[in-house]
Amino acid sequence: MTYQNVVNTARARLASILQQAGHHGAQRPGLAIALVLGTGLAIGTGAGIAGTAHLRAQVNQQQAQIEATRREAQREVNALAARLGELQAEANRLNALGERLTRIGQLQDGEFDFDKPVGVGGAGPVEDMPKAELGAGMTKLQRQFAASGEQLSVLESLLFNRQLDMNAVPSREPIANSYITSGFGGRADPFNGGRANHKGIDFEADVGDPVLAVADGVVSYSGVRSGYGNVVEVDHGNGYVTRYAHNSRLTHGVGALVRAGQEIAKAGSTGRSTGAHVHFEVWENGHVVNPRQFLNEKSPLKG
Ligand SMILES: [Zn+2]
């Protein structure tokens, strides 16, 4: 029953009582007045109690709803606060990484500010977090991420340029713990005994041994070439291309980015080969060159 219904019912009862009073009033006006007053008081009290109780129930219900909504909103805020904590931990990690890179790269530009403390992160809030604080935290974190991102980009390019000379020139061995079985240049052809120009150097290997990229680069060929068997070629982007032949298996397709020392094939004896080995060539601006000049100064293979 709504409050309006209560009022309407009370009015109807009052009207009928007034009618009765009018009927009796002709003879006994005093009784009529007493009836009206008494009834009015009864109606007023009755309607008042019923209406107040009803209103109170409504108010209680609304308060419960408001409280439930508030709790729900706070749960969401707390969840966001926990996420903020995670992001802050991530920011800390990034800063630590940047700091380490700066140290490794021995950069002393004063351009990097990785020591600057970032917000407290980790466990997340124990008490409810005010929304305003959450918003401020998010904004601060966003700025930190942007700053860290910029710093890391600059750092990366600096380190990349520094590493480029070291890693983009063929300066490593294409296979670990090996030795040269055949050098570069003129030699007796191992098949027909005639004179032949050996365009690379051969390294001793067992079938399945990892063949390693001698410098950073991108795989520019991966497949079979006449005489070479399964061959992989890496373009180092600075005029140098290296070729690794007679593999039993090729592990990287054209376009794959490879790092110095990374496995790019499994050694084997495919193509024109008398036994498992790695045939290694270095091309410089389209001309085949003696790979030996690029081998690491400290390498026993250099000798
Ligand atoms: Zn060879």
Q: How close is the Cα of 255 to the center of ligand 1, in Å?
A: 25
pLDDT, tens digit, 9 for 90 and up, residues 10-50:
556 555 554 554 444 445 545 444 544 554 555 555 667 77
Q: How close is the Cα of 170 to the center of ligand 1, in Å?
A: 17
Q: Provide the whole-model pTM.
A: 0.46
For residue 78, name the pLDDT band (cuts at 50, 70, 90): confident
Ranking 42-46, 214-218, 288-292, 294-298 by mean pLDDT, the lowest is: 42-46
Q: How close is the Cα of 273 to the center of ligand 1, in Å?
A: 8
What local confidence, expressed as pLDDT, does residue 262 receive?
93
Q: How close is the Cα of 161 to the center of ligand 1, in Å?
A: 33
Cα 251 from Cα 210, distance rounded (Å)? 10
Q: How close is the Cα of 69 to the center of ligand 1, in Å?
A: 77
Contact (CB, 8 A) for 277 and 269: yes
One DSSP character per residue, 92-105 reads HHHHHHHHHHHHHH
Q: How close is the Cα of 292 to the center of ligand 1, in Å?
A: 13
Give Dmax over CA atoms of the chain in angstroms: 152
Q: How close is the Cα of 202 to the center of ligand 1, in Å?
A: 5
What local confidence, expressed as pLDDT, does residue 201 receive?
93
Cα–Cα distances in angstroms (integers) from residue 246 to residues 182, 208, 227, 276, in the given order: 14, 11, 8, 8
Q: How close is the Cα of 259 to the center of ligand 1, in Å?
A: 23
Query: CB neighbours (10 Å) of residue 192?
Result: 8
pLDDT, tens digit, 9 for 90 and up, residues 155-172:
666 665 655 555 666 667
CA angle 108, 110, 116 (to 5 degrees): 115
